[in-house]
C-alpha cells in the first residue's frame, strides 16, 4: 500500500508541475497516462521515495517533449 501511495503522490506532483510549466497542455493529454505508467513501473521496480519518483517523472516528460520537438523537424 505504501508503494501505491508513493506512486500516486509522485504522479500528482509531477503532473501538476508539468501543467504549470506547460500552460498549453491539456489536463487530459496522453502524456498523463504515459507519466502514470512510467511512475508505476519505477515504483514496482523498487523505487518508493515520492520525491525521487516525481523528479524522475518530470525528467521523463522533458525527454518526451524533446523527442516530440525533434521528430517534427
Tally Cβ neighbours within 10 Å of residue 44.
10
56 domain residue, yes or no: yes
- Whether residue 27 lies inside any domain: the answer is no
pLDDT value of position 71: 75
- Comparing 27 with 68, the larger pLDDT belongs to 27
Task: Provide the domain limits for residue 44.
Answer: 2-21+32-71
Tens-place pLDDT, residues 38-49: 999 999 999 999
pLDDT digits (tens, 9 = 90+) for 1-44: 467 899 999 999 999 999 999 999 999 999 999 999 999 999 99
- Residue 26 domain-assigned? no
- Contact in structure between 57 and 39 (CB atoms under 8 Å): yes
* pLDDT value of position 73: 55
Count the domains in the chain: 1
Amino acid at each position: 500500500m505504501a508503494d501505491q501511495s508513493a506512486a500516486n503522490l509522485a504522479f500528482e506532483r509531477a503532473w501538476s508541475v508539468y501543467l504549470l510549466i506547460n500552460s498549453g497542455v491539456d489536463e487530459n493529454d496522453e502524456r498523463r497516462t504515459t507519466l502514470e505508467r512510467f511512475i508505476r513501473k519505477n515504483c514496482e521496480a523498487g523505487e518508493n521515495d515520492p520525491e525521487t519518483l516525481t523528479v524522475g517523472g518530470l525528467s521523463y516528460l522533458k525527454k518526451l517533449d524533446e523527442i516530440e520537438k525533434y521528430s517534427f523537424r
